[in-house]
Amino acid sequence: EVQLVESGGGLIQPGGSLRLSCAASGFTFRSYLMHWVRQAPGKGLEWVSRIISDGSSATYADSVKGRFTISRDNAKNTLYLQMDSLRAEDTAVYYCTRGGGHSDWGQGTLVTVSS
Amino acid sequence: QSVLTQPPSASGTPGQRVTISCSGSSSNIGSNTVNWYQQFPGTAPKLLIYSNNQRPSGVPDRFSGSKSGTSASLAISGLQSEDEADYYCATWSDSLNGWVFGGGTKLTVL
């Protein structure tokens, strides 16, 4: 069974940094492209970033470009999202998803940016 | 404002057929396949339809998807109370070089 478990969320002040993790199991992690998708409270889904299977290439939404960095450790079956210069509008539940079509989702981790 | 346009709400009575539309452009829906996701309150989204009209295993055949030009649709036949949820369409955008989602449609079963 595919499992994606996010962690690392919490309350952070504007301008601060946070690193999210997504532990993957139940599939061959190193073979899959992975994404981060977020959902602000009461709002819709917003794609944040993706990274290809070997980690050599990543793409970002304009809203986070230059502030967020996606990475992965295929030896540890873990996906990361380094979030710097956080803003109030980054407040959201962050989900990691598997594959080109987001076939599987984690339960999400809440990031709250507030002073 | 979402790149893909969905009606904010839809409704139907049990047993009815309901459709939810998703409108885009030539650089997104017009040139890529569409997925649909179902989300219940407080839970993660779940893939419902992929590649325009394919159902992952376990998804009832009451759910179907279609695409024509720069628009896509999700149809739910034999509507059931447990179908009450939010539904999102999504696809890749060639112009934005990223995924785009619709704003979501809240389906109410009357």
CB-based contact, A35 to chain B, within 8 Å: yes
Q: What is the pLDDT of residue A15?
A: 98
Q: What is the pLDDT of residue A102?
A: 87
Q: What is the mean pLDDT of residues A44-65?
A: 97
Q: What is the pLDDT of residue B28?
A: 97
CB contact under 8 A, B46 and A105: yes
State the nearest Cα–Cα gap between A105 and chain B, in angstroms.
7
Calculate the average pLDDT of chain A. Answer: 97
Q: Render pLDDT for A53-62 as a digit per residue (tens, 0 to 9).
A: 999 999 999 9
Testing the interface with A: which of B99, B100, B101, B106 to mutate, by most A Cβ within 10 A? B99
Q: What is the pLDDT of residue B1?
A: 82
Residues of chain B with pLDDT under 50: none
Locate the chain B residue with the closest alpha carbon to A59. B98
Q: What is the pLDDT of residue A108?
A: 98
Q: Are B65 and B53 in contact (CB under 8 A)?
A: yes
Q: Render pLDDT for A74-103 as a digit per residue (tens, 0 to 9).
A: 999 999 999 999 999 999 999 999 998 888
